[in-house]
Amino acid sequence: MTTRLDPQVSVHLHSPQQEAPPHPGPGWTRFVCISDTHSGIFRLPPGDVLIHAGDLSSYGALPQLTRTIDWLTSLEHPVKIIVAGNHDVNYISTDVPPVLTASQLIQRARATVRSLASAGLYYLEHESLHFTAPSGKVWKVYGSPAAPIHLEGAFQYASSTEAKAIYQCVPEDTEILITHTPPYRTLDKTRKGKYAGCPILSSRLRQLRHCRLHVFGHIHEAAGAGVDDVGGTHRVSVNAAVPLSDSIVVVDMRD
């Protein structure tokens, strides 16, 4: 299914059993959006930019992370941008001996992923990235692995004060935002009918007038895409969790 929102953006729900729609051509950037792969490997359509919104592994074990990074590195997308998620911490102690603490594993994982920037793979942890798409457009990206606290896990916050400190760091000129958590009431409804997204993130997004694409995951059963009108411009929101979805969200944006 393809939805053409306006002359500036199209959203495709791509089934792995079908060919992706043709790239719209010069002056456009194609974003392929995934999240919550949990050490799995999936067939993805080609594109200019691959975005992974966290939960790279199942339980944070380094071999699981390595499997995901090897897979991502092998893909032909010229630019690949990833954040971590709450599952990306070693709270089941699988390294023996010695057993790595959660903080030690996160540090090792950071070093492993950051070393691959020369291969077009970029890891963002509460930080910005400006990259040049094949079209020549320079996109302004911000990525954060944070999410409201839910049992054990990594990169979680427990209060609105912590959340405000995290999301106020997102630059005003951000065009592409990648977070692990959804914003409140945007593709965040659980099976039990609860809206599990972050209200503080939702409030911050109302201030980010230049943000054209927001990619997240975390709530698997709410996977999909939606569109909001922000000051006369369409903003695409993508819950890119793939395990329970039979399609991959592909977003084409005119530079």
Q: What is the pLDDT of residues 74-109, one digit of tens each?
A: 999 999 999 999 988 754 444 444 455 666 666 777
pLDDT band at 37 (very low <50, low <70, confident <90, very high): very high
- Sorted by sequence, the CB contacts under 8 Å of residue 153 that are 6+ apart come out as 86, 87, 89, 91, 147
**Predicted confidence band at 244 (pLDDT cuts at 50, 70, 90)?**
low
pLDDT at 249 over 70: yes
Q: What is the mean pLDDT of residues 227-246?
A: 85
Rounded Cα distance between 63 and 65, Å, is 5
Q: What is the pLDDT of residue 93?
A: 41
Separation of alpha carbons 191 and 188, rounded Å: 10
Q: What is the per-residue burial (b if ≥16 Cβ within 10 Å, else e) of 203-224?
A: ebbeebebbbbbbbbbbbbbbb
* Domain 2-254: CATH class, spelled out: alpha beta
Q: Which two tokens stand for residue 108?
A: 């090792």
Which residue in 88, 85, 87 sits closest to 54, CA to CA?
85
pLDDT at 100: 56
Give me the pLDDT at residue 1, please: 59
What pLDDT digit, counting tens, does each position of 199-209 carry?
999 999 999 99
Q: What is the mean pLDDT of the chain?
A: 88
In 3D, which of 44, 64, 57, 178 has the Cα closest to residue 123? Answer: 178
Per domain, the residue ranges of the chain are 2-254
pLDDT at 80: 94
57, 61, 66, 69 alpha-carbon torsion, rounded to 10°: 30
